[in-house]
C-alpha cells in the first residue's frame, strides 16, 4: 500500500541546496516523524513526497513506481497543514466533503465517508457549523477529517499542532496517535518539537540542514544517539 522510497533525492532553490542527497525508506503503516530545527528542510521534504515540489535530482518511488509518473492527486497521499486552510464560508460537512466533491464522487458515498470521519473525530454534532464557530482543536480535526475521507495510502502532517495551546496540543497528540492505531495507515509527521516526536513516532528521522543525522526508534535515539546534534536535540546525555 503506502511504501515510499527516497533514492538519492536532492532539492535546490536557486543556488542553495536545501536537501543534500537523501536516502530513506518509509515503511508501510509506520508513524514516521521528521524532526529538526526550523529551516532544516522538513516542509520541503514533505512537499517533495507529496509532489508539491519537484526533486532536483534523484527519485521518489511510491509502491515501486517512479513518483514523477504519478500526478500529485493520484499519489494517494493526504496532507494536513499547520494552518488549517478551511473554507470559512462552508460548513464543517462541506469542508470535509470538498476533496471528494472535487473528485466527482457520488453523494451517497460522500455522505457515508463524511459521516464516518466525523464519528472518528467526534465532530458529528458540529457538521452544520462554520469554522469560525469551532475551537482550534475542532478546526484541526476538520482538517484531519478532510484527509481521512480520501482514504489515503499515507497521511502527511506538517506541524499540525503548532497553532494550538499546550494543553490542547497534548490532547491532539493522543488523538492522532489513536487515529494511527485505528487506521493503521502510514503517517509522516513533521515537527520541530522533540516531545511530540518521541511520544508519537515509531521511527524518528533527525534532520539538520537537510541532512539525515540519524534514523531510529525514540528509544534508540535516546540511548544511542549517533552524534552530539542528535543527543542535544533528543535530550539524552552524550
Question: Which residue stretch of 20-28, 36-44, 95-103, 216-224 sits at the interface with ligand ADP (rule: CB under 6 A)?
Answer: 36-44
- In angstroms, what is the minimal distance from the CB of 118 to ligand ADP? 30
Residue pair 66/54 in contact (Cβ under 8 Å)? The answer is no
Torsion, CA 94, CA 99, CA 101, CA 104, rounded to 10? -170
Under the binding rule (CB under 5 A), the answer on residue 82 touching Mg ion is no
Q: Which is nearer to Mg ion, 43 or 186 (CB)?
A: 43
List, as one string, the DSSP characters of the chain.
Answer: ---EEEEEEEEEETTEEEEEEEEEEEPTT-EEEEE--TTSSHHHHHHHHHTSS--SEEEEEETTEEGGGS-GGGS-EEEE-SS----TTS-HHHHHHHHHHHTT--HHHHHHHHHHHHHHTT-GGGTTS-GGGS-HHHHHHHHHHHHHTT--SEEEEESTTTTS-HHHHHHHHHHHHHHHHHH--EEEEEES-HHHHHHH-SEEEEEETTEEEEEE-HHHHHHS-SSHHHHHHHT---
- In angstroms, what is the minimal distance from the CB of 79 to Mg ion? 12
Under the binding rule (CB under 5 A), the answer on residue 43 touching Mg ion is yes
Question: Which residue stretch of 42-50, 72-80, 81-89, 97-105 sits at the interface with ligand ADP (rule: CB under 6 A)?
Answer: 42-50
Residue pair 183/175 in contact (Cβ under 8 Å)? The answer is no
Question: Which residues ranging from 44 to 83 are in contact with ligand ADP (CB under 6 A)?
Answer: 44
From candidates 22, 40, 164, 198, binder to ligand ADP by CB under 6 A:
40
Residue pair 106/55 in contact (Cβ under 8 Å)? The answer is no
Under the binding rule (CB under 6 A), the answer on residue 43 touching ligand ADP is yes
Q: Which is nearer to Mg ion, 40 or 118 (CB)?
A: 40
Q: Which is nearer to ligand ADP, 43 or 140 (CB)?
A: 43
Q: Which is nearer to ligand ADP, 56 or 63 (CB)?
A: 56
Question: Which residues ranging from 10 to 29 are in contact with ligand ADP (CB under 6 A)?
Answer: 13, 18
Q: Which is nearer to Mg ion, 43 or 95 (CB)?
A: 43
Residue pair 43/215 in contact (Cβ under 8 Å)? The answer is no
- In angstroms, what is the minimal distance from the CB of 97 to Mg ion? 28
Under the binding rule (CB under 6 A), the answer on residue 2 touching ligand ADP is no
Q: Which is nearer to ligand ADP, 92 or 187 (CB)?
A: 187
Contact residues for ligand ADP, defined by CB under 6 A = 13, 18, 36, 38-44
Contact residues for Mg ion, defined by CB under 5 A = 43
Amino acid at each position: 500500500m503506502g511504501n515510499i522510497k527516497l533514492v538519492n533525492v536532492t532539492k535546490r532553490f536557486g543556488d542553495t541546496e536545501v536537501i543534500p542527497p537523501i536516502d530513506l525508506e518509509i515503511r508501510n503503516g509506520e508513524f514516521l516523524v521528521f524532526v529538526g530545527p526550523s529551516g532544516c528542510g522538513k516542509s520541503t521534504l514533505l512537499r517533495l513526497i507529496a509532489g508539491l515540489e519537484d526533486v532536483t535530482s534523484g527519485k521518489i518511488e511510491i509502491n515501486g513506481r517512479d513518483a514523477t509518473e504519478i500526478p500529485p492527486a493520484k499519489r494517494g497521499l493526504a496532507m494536513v497543514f499547520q494552518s488549517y486552510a478551511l473554507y470559512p464560508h462552508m460548513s464543517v460537512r462541506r469542508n470535509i466533503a470538498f476533496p471528494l466533491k472535487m473528485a466527482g464522487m457520488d453523494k451517497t458515498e460522500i455522505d457515508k465517508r463524511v459521516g464516518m470521519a466525523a464519528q472518528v473525530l467526534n465532530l458529528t454534532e458540529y457538521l452544520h457549523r462554520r469554522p469560525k464557530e469551532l475551537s482550534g482543536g475542532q478546526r484541526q480535526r476538520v482538517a484531519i477529517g478532510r484527509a481521512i475521507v480520501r482514504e489515503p495510502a499515507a497521511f502527511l502532517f506538517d506541524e499540525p499542532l503548532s497553532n494550538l495551546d499546550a494543553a490542547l496540543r497534548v490532547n491532539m497528540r493522543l488523538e492522532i496517535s489513536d487515529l494511527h492505531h485505528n487506521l493503521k495507515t502510514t503517517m509522516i509527521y513533521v515537527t520541530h518539537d522533540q516531545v511530540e516526536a518521541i511520544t508519537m513516532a515509531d521511527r524518528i528521522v533527525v534532520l539538520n540542514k537537510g541532512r539525515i543525522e540519524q534514523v531510529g526508534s525514540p528509544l534508540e535515539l535516546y540511548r544511542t544517539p549517533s552524534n552530539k546534534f542528535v543527543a542535544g536535540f533528543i535530550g539524552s546525555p552524550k
